[in-house]
Structure 1
Amino acid sequence: MNIAYGIVAGLLALFYFYAGTLKVIRSRDQLRPMMAWVDRVPLPAVRALGAVEILGAAGLILPPLTGIAPSLAQAAAIGFVLLQTGAIAVHLTGQDRRIALNAGLTVTAAVTIWLAARL
């Protein structure tokens, strides 16, 4: 079970670390081609969202790896399910109806919750 968690959580953390880093360091113009919603959200909120994604990625990996408060990994995965639920709502209320990636990330985070409960 630890190997399955490591693979799923590792891939999820890698995705969120990358996406979060982009949101923190890139300008709105640089983000727009891959994230059409950035024009509808204030830039400080985009930056904060990126920071949350980076911290959540660390929360998926570090607690089980160090053995310190491993339940935080499950909390991070729950946070990602909530984050993607909000992301789907943002996409559906705007003109961008592409939510396949968000749905996939939601399912992956839900599987991570299940696996984290069995660590």
Structure 2
Amino acid sequence: MNILLWTLAGLLAAMFLAAGIMKLSQPKQKLVTTPNMAWAEDFSPGMLKTIGAAEVLAAAGLILPAALDVVPILVPLAAVGVALLMVGAAATHARRREGQPVVINAVLIAVAVVIAWGRFGPYQLS
């Protein structure tokens, strides 16, 4: 199970790192024209950068504390943060009546919850 949790955390971290870097490095006008990013119209450029920064920090929090053995309790806390980010994303997509992204958000929430459960519970990092 430990290998599964590491794998899930690695995949989730890679996805959030890529998404966060994209939001931090691209202007709002370019993000809005990117496929599946029309929702960015609803947010200010500053908020998009904030979301991107939160995603990059979540990616780092899913991997670095455990890999460096420095405050490993941050791993499940980062997973909870990812789940909360995805709840917000799902609410945004639902408000815009975008069904497919809501399903993707639900899957990402489930993955984050599994990581949080495993790392808070039976497969804690010491």
* TM category, shorter: over 0.9
1:72-118 CA-partner distances (Å, limit 9, x unpaired):
00100000111111111111112433311111111111111122222
Q: List alignment gaps of at least 5 residues for structure 2.
A: none
Measure the CA separation in 2 of the matches of 1:36 and 1:10. Answer: 27
Pairwise CA RMSD: 1.2
Could you tell me which residue of structure 2 aligns to residue 108 of structure 1? 111
Measure the CA separation in 1 of the matches of 2:108 and 2:27. Answer: 24
Could you tell me which residue of structure 1 aligns to residue 23 of structure 2? 23
- 2:48 paired with 1:61: no
Q: TM-score, normalised on structure 1?
A: 0.93
Map 1:13-92 to 2 at 5 A.
13-32=13-32, 33-92=35-94
Q: What is the SS of the residue equivalent to 1:24?
A: helix
Give the total of aligned pairs.
Answer: 119
Larger relative contact order (CA 8 Å, sep ≥ 6): 1
| Mapped contact 1:37–1:91 kept (Cα < 8 A) | yes
